[in-house]
Structure 1
């Protein structure tokens, strides 16, 4: 079992705390590591995590799954962006052989990225059903950043559909792969069916019951 990155000195009133969904992502990426490495053999892939939280998943990817990747973490929460940088610094060993290039960007989804450039995409979205998607807080110290990390609007899918509808413009056409987490209330089977009708190959690669919630991770490839 690959070690989980350490996360220290985090204000969990402002940044989403690693939970069952986070650990399901880590376990799934570990199980998928051979598939991912073979997919990007011989190239330096661009790996992007949307919604980095503490940065534990991004750190795990670059430390254990794709050590030579260029990794970018994206989050609308400035506290999450700063925390990801610290988590990376706390966990990456100095003097490693593999060049490690990572950065974080405060932005919404992937609106500023060049089309069809992302090789590996990982997204733990705000998936909790709510009346609406909350607006962005006015300041970095506003505790309602946690609502932004959790509440996904109708069926918990408003934010995720924004990304899925643009997935063809996000992933690299030859080898791009996306891992996206869903809860049962998001109706992942219906989502998979809809995306297959659009030409995507969709596989359930992670599944776990976490208390009253049932979580799944779907893998999307062309």
Structure 2
């Protein structure tokens, strides 16, 4: 079992505390079935095999064109993993620190949150997890070396361990904690893995994000320009004066409400993101989104499977109007439940849905 990142530095009066939904993401993404799927989609070897080039040759005897598939020699970049609304940062820290086990390779990661306190706390959580992971792997290497030395005097060398991904040194990089609303700070078509634990509780309305812009005008600081205290805030640009954000009860309540209040059916925020997925995900991109039973996940999955390749044709309710895939799209949308927990009835039952484009079995249509 992979260790859970520490969030002891996080102040939970202004940031969402990790709960059942957070840990469901950790269990699902580190499960044997899901890591195998992620390895096949993003590992360097499999990606080079999948990214094939078509070569055309002419035979003198038949004068026909023969199409041959050859593996591409172009190296594939590490996947960009983005978490929206990370809160404490426990999920993105888990994925970054254990990238070799989960993805089969290094990753680039970042997060986006409307709450600047969450942005600062997330960076601290990720950096702490990376440091602890490196220290653990160093101890494992030292221990393995000592055991190997002892065996050399008592018998044949040990059989190599095929499952050594967890012992690989972490070369993944956490890029930034960005302050923003959903995907607004991101470039289109660049996200390879998107994680979203949304505000999914059905409420009368969704809190106004503009309140934050007036209360917290400063962006989340970079690691060079800040010295952190316990909750991630600190002095800016080398100043000796601590930056204190004294929050009223109403302001703290507003920040926490942003993390759970999902509006009508608990789907107002989630639906905004779903409509952005076709443009924000890369061609190999995949999104993992959490739903509760009250969000009607089965209906949502059926709707997603009806998207066309461009994600257009939405009606006034934000859903696809015709549900048809255009000819020549070369891919179809898949939406499958890959993790679940909670009660068997009621809105408390949770599930994680994996959403991505899947190629046709016979290749792109002409």
Fold similarity call, TM over 0.5: yes
Indicate whether 1:29 and 2:29 are aligned: yes
Is contact 2:94-2:129 (8 Å) kept? Answer: no
Structure (1 or 2) with the larger CA radius of gyration? 2
Residue from 198, 210, 214 that aligns with 2:307: 198
Indicate whether 1:166 and 2:281 are aligned: no
Partner of 2:292: 183
Q: Provide the C-alpha distance between the structure 2 equivalents of 1:52 and 1:218, rounded to a whole number of angstroms.
A: 17
Is contact 2:82-2:195 (8 Å) kept? Answer: yes
Indicate whether 1:218 and 2:353 are aligned: yes
3-state SS, counterpart of residue 349 of structure 2: strand
TM-score, normalised to structure 1, is 0.94
Is contact 1:208-1:216 (8 Å) kept? Answer: yes
Q: Provide the C-alpha distance between the structure 2 equivalents of 1:214 and 1:122, rounded to a whole number of angstroms.
A: 19
Q: How does 1:45-194 map to 2 (within 5 A)?
A: 45-64=79-98, 65-66=102-103, 68-93=106-131, 94=134, 97-102=169-174, 103-136=176-209, 137-138=211-212, 139=215, 141=247, 142-143=251-252, 144-173=254-283, 175-194=284-303
Residue from 205, 209, 216 that aligns with 2:342: 209
1:61-108 deviations in Å (ceiling 9; x for gaps): 111134611101111000100100111122212587342221210100
Partner of 2:3: 3
Partner of 1:19: 19
Is contact 2:130-2:170 (8 Å) kept? Answer: no
3-state SS, counterpart of residue 22 of structure 2: helix
Distance 1:20 1:216, change over 3 A: same
Is contact 1:20-1:210 (8 Å) kept? Answer: no
TM-score, normalised to structure 2, is 0.58
Cα displacement (A) at 1:218: 0.4
Partner of 2:238: none
Cα displacement (A) at 1:210: 5.1
3-state SS, counterpart of residue 172 of structure 1: strand
3-state SS, counterpart of residue 181 of structure 1: strand
**Whose relative contact order is higher, 1 or 2, with alpha carbons under 8 Å and at least 6 apart?**
1
Q: Provide the C-alpha distance between the structure 1 equivalents of 2:296 and 2:192, rounded to a whole number of angstroms.
A: 26
Moved more, 211-220 or 141-150: 211-220
**Aligned pairs, how many?**
221
Q: Provide the C-alpha distance between the structure 2 equivalents of 1:10 and 1:133, rounded to a whole number of angstroms.
A: 24
3-state SS, counterpart of residue 113 of structure 1: coil
Q: Provide the C-alpha distance between the structure 1 equivalents of 2:300 and 2:91, rounded to a whole number of angstroms.
A: 24
What are structure 1's unaligned runs of at least 5 residues? Answer: none
Q: Provide the C-alpha distance between the structure 1 equivalents of 2:128 and 2:343, rounded to a whole number of angstroms.
A: 29
Moved more, 59-68 or 12-21: 59-68
The ranges of structure 1 where at least 4 consecutive aligned residues each deviate by more than 4 angstroms after the TM superposition are none
